[in-house]
């Protein structure tokens, strides 16, 4: 029987393939932590936004040719965020990822960690399969920059920022608004696209929307 003829069979086959790819990433990389230890001051609206970002990130990862293994750290199953994730994300409890109350800094050797934060002096040059990349689970732009950078420094963990300044320029806009702070699913789309293409301009185009006030250098007339 040709595989494509039976939709149920092909769906099951694709699910098994996705599962295999995700489990392979768990053992051989790439790995990504979402640091959810800073959500206790969030409003209900912010928690909903973050739960939506986690859903989109997981959806993108499942479709990727080379998915990341995702670990939600500092995350308790009795937290308001967990409740919100279950409410908003169909099948959240069966997502193929790790959920742990432990902090990302105690889960992995510190020298393998790279905290992605807009305040870092170092531009990310490559995605290293031996490293574990951390994204701070925050949605409030006003605190996001300071908090994640300080946390990484506290643990003497390497930091990096996306190479927006290296490949993009500020675009004139009516609001004169320019921000390098992205939602976690946007950062993920950039990392995932880069892993597939090894092309930063292409990856940044995927995750930095025009509303952020940046465009690729070569698109400036």
* Terminal Cα distance for the chain, rounded: 55
Residue 153 parent element (H or E): helix 141-154
Q: Is 127 left (phi over 0), alpha (psi -120 to 50) or beta?
A: beta
**pTM as predicted:** 0.86
Mean of the per-residue pLDDT values of the chain: 85
Dist. CA 219–CA 146, nearest whole Å: 31
**Per-residue model confidence as pLDDT tens digits over 17-69:** 788 888 788 888 799 999 999 888 788 999 999 999 999 999 999 889 899 99
Angstrom distance (rounded) from CA 71 to CA 204: 23
Domain ranges of the chain: 25-162
Is residue 61 a contact partner of residue 192, using CB atoms and an 8 Å limit? yes
Answer for the pair 5, 13: CB distance below 8 angstroms, yes or no: no
Least confident of 23-27, 79-83, 137-141: 137-141
Per-residue pLDDT tens digits for 166-210: 877 777 765 555 566 788 999 999 999 999 999 999 999 887 766
- pLDDT at position 142, please? 59
Instruction: For residue 35, give both structure tokens.
Output: 């640091």
25-162 is classed CATH 3.40.1280.30: yes
């Amino acid at each position: 029987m040709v595989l494509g003829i039976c939709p149920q069979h092909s769906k099951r086959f694709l699910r098994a393939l996705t599962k295999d790819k995700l489990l392979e990433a768990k053992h051989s990389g790439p790995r990504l932590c979402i640091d959810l230890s800073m959500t206790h001051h969030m409003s209900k609206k912010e928690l909903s936004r973050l739960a939506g970002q986690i859903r989109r990130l997981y959806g993108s990862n499942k479709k990727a040719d080379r998915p990341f293994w995702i670990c939600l750290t500092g995350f308790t199953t009795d937290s308001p965020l967990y409740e919100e994730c279950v409410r908003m994300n169909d099948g959240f409890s069966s997502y193929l990822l790790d959920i742990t109350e432990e902090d990302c800094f105690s889960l992995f050797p510190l020298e393998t960690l790279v905290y992605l934060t807009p305040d870092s002096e170092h531009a990310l040059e490559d995605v290293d399969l031996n490293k574990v990349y951390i994204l701070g689970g925050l949605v409030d732009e006003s605190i996001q920059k300071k908090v994640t950078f300080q946390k990484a420094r506290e643990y003497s963990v390497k930091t990096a920022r996306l190479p927006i300044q290296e490949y993009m320029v500020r675009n004139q806009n009516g609001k004169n608004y320019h921000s390098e702070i992205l939602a976690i699913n946007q950062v993920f789309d950039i990392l995932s696209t880069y892993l597939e293409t090894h092309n930063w301009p292409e990856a940044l185009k995927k995750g930095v929307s025009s509303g952020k006030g940046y465009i690729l250098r070569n698109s400036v007339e």
